[in-house]
């Protein structure tokens, strides 16, 4: 009986191993480049310019701040340095195919920032 169980388990495992694995391609990374005067912006200066973020997320020492507009979203990635958290990368959704950010999105969010809490 034990041999039969081992044989059945072996057949089951072999059938699982023979299945093709579905692979999903990752989207292409956005092109390099950052908005003028954004890299090195302090967290305080970011709040002054854009207000309080709609959403924040911490991953270790890094923080991502998301700002939502009517037509787009902006994502600011802040990392620690001597002065505290500073912006190191910016992305928007949607974004043009040749850039990680849409300057008109950032400008629109600057014109109507959320209130700082």
Print the SS3 string covering the chain.
Answer: CHHHHHHHHHHHHHHHHCCCCCCCCCCCCCCCCCCCCCCCCEHHHHHHHHCCCCEEEEECCEEEEEEECCCCEEEEEEEEECCEEEEEEEEEECCCCCCCCCHHHHHHHHHCCCCCC
Q: What is the pTM of this model?
A: 0.70
- pLDDT at position 18 is 57
Q: Tell whether the model's pLDDT for residue 103 goes beyond 70.
A: yes
Q: What are the residue boundaries of the structural domains of the chain, listed by start?
A: 36-117
Q: Is pLDDT above 90 for 88?
A: yes
Give 63's pLDDT tier (boundaries 50, 70, 90): very high
CATH topology for the 36-117 domain: Beta-lactamase Inhibitory Protein; Chain:B, domain 1 (3.30.1450)
Q: What pLDDT score does 91 carry? A: 93
């Amino acid at each position: 009986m034990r041999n039969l169980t081992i044989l059945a388990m072996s057949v089951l495992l072999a059938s699982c191993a023979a299945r093709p694995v579905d692979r999903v391609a990752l989207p292409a990374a956005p092109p390099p480049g950052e908005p003028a005067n954004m890299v090195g912006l302090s967290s305080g200066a970011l709040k002054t310019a854009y207000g309080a973020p709609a959403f924040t997320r911490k991953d270790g020492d890094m923080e991502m701040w998301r700002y939502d507009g009517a037509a787009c979203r902006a994502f600011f990635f802040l990392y620690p340095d001597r002065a505290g958290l500073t912006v190191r990368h910016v992305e928007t959704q949607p974004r043009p195919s040749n850039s990680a950010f849409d300057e008109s999105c950032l400008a629109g969010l600057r014109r109507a920032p959320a209130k700082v809490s």
